[in-house]
């Protein structure tokens, strides 16, 4: 018998689709049923072998599921929680694939009622530029980090079983509190995305932007790769984590103001000190 | 007879070494003589087939050279100009490989006297993380951009011959004024480097920096790749171009302050507008 007899997935794009394919490849799932807002996307997912069935009524499908994965945009999760809460079976666990956790946990608290104990939030650190079921692959999570942010209300066994599901997908699972999670990712993910979008936007405003871009080279290419990410997704992430991100951006502006002053003062020593410290830390990180 | 009978190179690292190897591969050079501050580096360059000879006295070598390339750090170029100026032959042209042009032109004006007419400044947009003669390859400039910043004093023929030398290396040569050059590269190269160093430095100051870095993923990796660049080289570039870079950084801080305000106001529309415009421009650039 597979580890999970039935899995129900809301949102069958890159994250949800790859979860299904990975569990299938591991022989860890009996049946996968999918829900989504687009019939075309659901049909694709079925054709691609992601889904056994396209679900019709969430109420009828979640009662006998072992696991429900919410892999929709984070802004839609409150609705899904509300739709499924009354119908969850006694054994049904819930996890998600959202990039922010404070807002997802708040939506769960507001909509899951006493089923909150079954929700073990997760953030898989994988995938980025691609989207849709066509982009889904069984190997997406192999060797990648998945951060669980368990709730005080979770039973240890619920956390262990959700961890196992992600590990069956090949992921390396670690745990943070939702607050820690959002602080960490504000610094190492949300802020860099904002800065990269901002640089390209800054250049895009110039009359000579074509000339500028014609001389941009590999440094610019790598620095701005993440500025090709989905504007809607990153708007939502920034809004969901906006308080922490506001503080992070404030610290970064201070850092830039100190460099701005160093340029004004022709303070070469200060510049070299900042650059050297950064290079040391960045080079050590690469080697991990 | 090769296009260039004798080339003298000051600084036989990645830029100077690759220039020599590319000209050799093209069958475009008779003899290459090298100067540098480190005997070990010069010996390596000779062993690697970059140099025919290690020069002893610059005065004795530049008189019969067709071309002199300055590929030292920019800060050393004033000295080299002063050493070679009295000894240049009637046919000897000079070019350089510096990443900034305003300062190099100023050093040339201060030290070359009436030989200024022979100096056609250049910036090859190639190479980055690697350095030293070991990193030099004949293909470094193949298909890469080289920007010439000719001086009003240059004879058209001098510009044409220096252009030809870089083209023989496989480069696509274009022209800007030194001032245009420094403005363009402040925006698309110097500023991104500063921002990348600043982000890593910002994170490096935190007590939980190990935790933060342990969750950093591919977006962070690409955004900060250039923060592994040479601190000394980037200190010099920032100092050399500090007035233009000061203005660029000021504009960027304004851009961030506007995003900071959007976060404070929960202005999702503003965020999406900035991100969308950036994505559009970045995606169009990629396809070039």
* Confidence check: pLDDT of A267 > 90: yes
Whether the per-residue pLDDT at B288 is higher than 60: the answer is: no
Please say whether the dihedral angle defined by the alpha carbons of residues B45, B47, B50 and B53, taken in this order, is positive or negative. Answer: positive
Using CB atoms, which residue from A128, A216, A249 is nearest to B256?
A249
Q: Which ipTM did the prediction report?
A: 0.90
Flag the least confident range among A112-126, B116-130, B233-247. B116-130
* Residue-wise pLDDT tens digits, A69-78: 999 999 899 9
Alpha helical stretches, state H, A12-56? 14-25, 39-47
Of all residues in chain B, the percent with pLDDT exceeding 70 is 98
C-alpha closest to that of A190 among A80, A279, A74, A272: A74
3-state secondary structure of B93: strand
The whole-number average pLDDT for the span A270-286 is 95
Show the tokens assigned to B183.
């403005």
Q: How far apart are the first and last CA of chain B?
A: 38
* pLDDT (average), residues B159-169: 98
Confidence at B105, pLDDT banded by 50, 70, 90: very high
Q: Using the predicted structure, report yes or no on whether residue B160 has a pLDDT greater than 80.
A: yes
pLDDT tens-digit readout, B138-154: 999 999 999 999 999 99
Given a cut of 70, whether residue A262 has pLDDT beyond it is yes
pLDDT-derived band at B192 (thresholds 50, 70, 90) equals: very high
Q: Tell me what the pLDDT averaged over chain A comes to.
A: 96
User: Would you state the structure tokens that stand for residue A50, as one six-digit string?
Assistant: 């992601």
What local confidence, expressed as pLDDT, does residue B130 receive? 74
Asked if the model's pLDDT at residue A288 lies above 70, the reply is: no
Name the pLDDT band for A14 (thresholds 50, 70, 90): very high
Q: Name residues 199-228 of chain B within 8 A of A (Cβ).
A: 199-204, 206, 208-209, 211-228
Residue B232 has pLDDT above 80, yes or no: yes
d(CA B190, CA A22): 43
Extended beta strands in chain B, E state: 4-10, 29-35, 53-54, 67-70, 93-96, 122-124, 145-148, 172-175
What is the rounded average pLDDT of the residues B260-275? 98
Which residues pair with residue A122 across a beta bridge? A148
Q: Which residues of A touch B276 (CB under 8 A)?
A: 231
Domains of chain A: 4-176 (3.40.50.720), 180-286 (1.10.3660.10)
Query: What would the mean pLDDT of A126-155 be, rounded to a whole number?
Result: 91
Residues of A in contact with B226 (CB under 8 A): 219, 222-223
Which pair of structure tokens corresponds to residue B277?
Answer: 């415009």
Q: Which of B219, B242, B250 sits opposite A266 (nearest CB)?
A: B242
Q: How many CB atoms lie within 10 A of CB B86?
A: 11
């Amino acid at each position: 018998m597979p580890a999970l007899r039935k899995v129900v997935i809301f949102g069958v794009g890159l994250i949800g689709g790859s979860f299904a394919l990975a569990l299938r490849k591991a022989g860890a799932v009996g049946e996968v049923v999918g829900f989504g807002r687009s019939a075309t996307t659901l049909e694709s997912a079925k054709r691609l072998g992601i889904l056994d069935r396209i679900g019709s009524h969430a109420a009828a499908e979640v009662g006998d599921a072992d696991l429900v994965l919410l892999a929709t945009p984070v802004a839609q999760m409150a609705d899904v929680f509300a739709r499924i809460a009354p119908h969850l079976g006694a054994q049904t666990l819930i996890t998600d694939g959202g990039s922010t956790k404070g807002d997802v946990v708040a939506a769960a608290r507001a909509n899951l009622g006493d089923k909150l104990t079954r929700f073990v939030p997760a953030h898989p650190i994988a995938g980025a530029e691609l989207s849709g079921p066509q982009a889904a692959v069984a190997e997406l999570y192999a060797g990648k980090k998945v951060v669980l942010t368990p709730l005080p209300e979770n039973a240890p066994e619920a956390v262990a079983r959700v961890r196992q599901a992600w590990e069956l997908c090949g992921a390396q699972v670690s745990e943070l509190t939702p607050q820690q999670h959002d602080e960490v990712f504000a610094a190492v993910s949300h802020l860099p995305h904002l800065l990269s979008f901002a640089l390209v936007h800054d250049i895009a405003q110039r009359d000579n932007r074509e000339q500028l871009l014609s001389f941009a080279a590999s440094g610019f290419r790598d620095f701005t790769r993440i500025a090709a990410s989905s504007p809607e997704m990153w708007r939502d992430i920034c809004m969901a984590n906006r308080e922490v991100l506001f503080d992070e951006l404030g610290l970064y502006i201070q850092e830039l103001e100190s460099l701005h002053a160093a340029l004004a003062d022709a303070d070469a020593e200060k510049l070299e000190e900042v650059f050297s410290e950064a290079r040391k830390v960045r080079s050590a990180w690469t080697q991990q």
